Every structure is written in structure tokens, then in C-alpha cells.
Amino acid sequence: MTKPTRLFLFVSGGILAAGLGTGLVAAYVGGFQNLTLFAATGPDELAYLPADAKVVAFANVREIMASELHQKLQALVPRNENGLARFQEETGVDMTRDVDYVLAAIGGDLAAGPEQGRPLVMAHGHFDNVRIEGLVRSKGGMVEDYKGIRFLKATEPNGGMDMALAFVEPGLIAMGSDAAVRQAIDGHSGSANATGNAELTRLVKDASDGNAWVVARFDALSAAGKIPPEVAQRLPAINWLTLSGHVNGGISLAARAEARDDAAAKNLRDVLQGILALAKLQTGQRADLTAIMDSVELGGEGKNVSLGLSVPIEVVDHLAALRTPTGVTPPPAAP
């Protein structure tokens, strides 16, 4: 091997090693975020969700709060700052800055009563544990140790559902019904959790491109009364429904339904095709809505049916202008 060849190998290898080394150190210092093999299997917190989760939803709060769309919407429809300020004062949590992302799930049989459809919310961010614990105590709540984890419990005076909150990991809290939070802790330390549900993890993986998404069993939605019975009866057999959205300048949405079989998927495509044609007729005269309707694409193959649409920021601006009285310009978005 000649000297120039050795020099080349040394320089190339050096760049590669320096890059990997720097990245490794930075990732180590930053706590190795997103450390999942091939990083596309959904959030790590799936291991806290119940294996029989019927609905799983995720929102990257930090990205959505920082999005241009949110800034515009905030300018258009101001939030109840008093409520947020009070919440921050009591808990020490600034919803706009301290929460990174939220993952929620509902497990059990939704039709069998509130005890069965147990909600669970996992929130990742920067939390003042002491202040939150103090708040729960001041409201008459109790604190206990459950499998080495600080477990806060509050019972509603009217005899409603027992609510609980647990600091399961640094920067990660689990909230929900008492039973759901205990199940989350048990599931994470064992193997009976959502990561063992191959069908669910596959759908979560597919949906996790967006910064907000929902994966739901269709029968769970209809049993919970989220879909009007007259609509549910007329729809072809659907197993799973996935909604994935990316919020940034505008919104890109992709909905996907997994039907029971190919014939049911074809029926659903036909139904949606008809609805879309009707909607296009109805919105033909509205330039703002036409832009949205033109972006709608219906597709899918086999058992899958997909529907995508995009709402560009210009359309949001246009809708904002319609809401704003003439001569008043909405305040510019914060940088």
C-alpha cells in the first residue's frame, strides 16, 4: 500500500471516527434519545401501555407548539391564559414549553363500562415532582410507594373514578385511573404490554411518521359511541383505523383504514369516492375549500384504504382572514 493510499485511509477513517465519536458523546450526554433499534417502532413508552389497548394516540407537543400553524392559530383564537397560568402556578408545568410529547391509550372493553375503558396518559417532559406531589396532597390525595415508584392517588369526592399519577421514570409520568397506572407499571416490568401486540405495534410504526397520530380499533370506537350508529351500520367492516398528521406550516393528514377483507376495503373506497365527489360539487365555488379538496387523494390496495389531504398555510391564512373583521389584520406569528 502506497503512502498516499495510507494517508487517504487515515483521513477518511479519521473523519468517520471523529463524526461517530462526537455523535456518540453528544448522544450520551443527551441521554440517548430515540434509542430504539432502527428508530421506527414507535415511542419507547409503548411498553407502559396495556397489551389490549384499543385506542393509542400520540402528540409531539413540543413540535406542535413550535409550529407555524400553532402560532397563527394562537394569534387567531387566544387561549385562556388565566387557566394556563393557574395550572403552571400550581404544578410548575408550563404546557407550552415543559411537555415534550404525550402518549395516551385506552385499554379493556370500552362497551363494558368506565372501569373497563381505562384511560392512561404518559407525558414526557420536565416536571417539578415535588410541587406536583404537594398539589395532590393539598387536594386530599395520598402518596404511596408502588414497586419502588412514587404513586400519587386522588379519589373524587362524588365517588367517581380513582385517579392516579406516578413518576415512572425521570421526566416521564403516567396518569389515569388507579388501575390503569398500576397496570402500566406492572406491564413495563413484565412482558404484558403493548409491545407484545404485534398488530398494534405494526400500525403504530406505520403511523409514527407524523407528529400527531391515533391508532384505534374501529369496533372500540363504535362501541364507545364515538361514531353515530347509523353511520357505523352503513360502513363496511373495518378492523383498524389510523390517523396520522404532520403539523408544521400547514397540516398534512393521512387516514388509513384496514378493512376485514379486500371486498370490504373496495366497498369503503367506493363509499368514500362518492362522498368526495359530492364534497367537490358542494365546495366548487369556494376557492379556499377547493384547494383542500384538490389535495385529497384516495388510495390503498388490498385490505387498506387510505385518504390523504393537505391544508397549506395559505388556506389557514385565508380562513383567518374570513374570521377577522375587515380592516383588522391578525397579529403576526411569534418567531
Partner 1 sequence: MSARPVPPTFATGAVRVFSLSLGEMLWSRRTVFLLLVTGAPVFLALVARIVQGSGVVPLRVNGAAVDGGSIFGMMIWVFFLRFIVPVLGVFYGTSLIADEVEDRTITYLFTRPIRRGAVLVGKYLAYLVSTTLVVLPSVVLVYFLLVPLGQVARTFVAFAVDLGLLALGLASYGALFALVGAALKRPLVSGLVFVFGWEQIALLVPGYLKKFTIAYYVQGLVPHAMPSEGVATLLQSVLRDNPPALVCIVTLAAVVGATLWLGVRAVESREYVLDQ
Interface residues with partner 1 (CB under 8 A) are 1-2, 4-5, 8-9, 12-13, 15-16, 18-20, 22-24, 26-27, 29-40, 67-69, 205-206, 209, 244, 246, 248-250, 252, 254, 256, 295-297, 299-301, 304, 306, 308-310, 312-314
The angle subtended at Cα 47 by Cα 44 and Cα 51, nearest 5°, is 140
Would you state the cell numbers that stand for residue 78, as one nine-digit string? 387566544
CB neighbours of 207 closer than 8 A, spacing ≥ 6? 58, 213, 214, 215, 242, 243, 244, 256
Q: How far apart, in whole angstroms, are the C-alpha atoms of residue 222 and residue 110?
A: 9
Quick one: 183 or 242, whose CB is closer to partner 1? 242
For the CB of residue 144, give the shortest distance to partner 1 in the complex, in Å: 34
Quick one: 96 or 248, whose CB is closer to partner 1? 248
Quick one: 9 or 278, whose CB is closer to partner 1? 9
Q: How far apart, in whole angstroms, are the C-alpha atoms of residue 96 and residue 62?
A: 7
For the CB of residue 53, give the shortest distance to partner 1 in the complex, in Å: 21
155, 153, 184: which is closest to 168 by C-alpha? 184
Quick one: 68 or 90, whose CB is closer to partner 1? 68
Would you state the cell numbers that stand for residue 248, as one nine-digit string? 408544521
For the CB of residue 121, give the shortest distance to partner 1 in the complex, in Å: 22
For the CB of residue 224, give the shortest distance to partner 1 in the complex, in Å: 25
**Are 204 and 217 a contacting pair, CB within 8 Å?**
no
For the CB of residue 264, give the shortest distance to partner 1 in the complex, in Å: 18
Quick one: 33 or 189, whose CB is closer to partner 1? 33
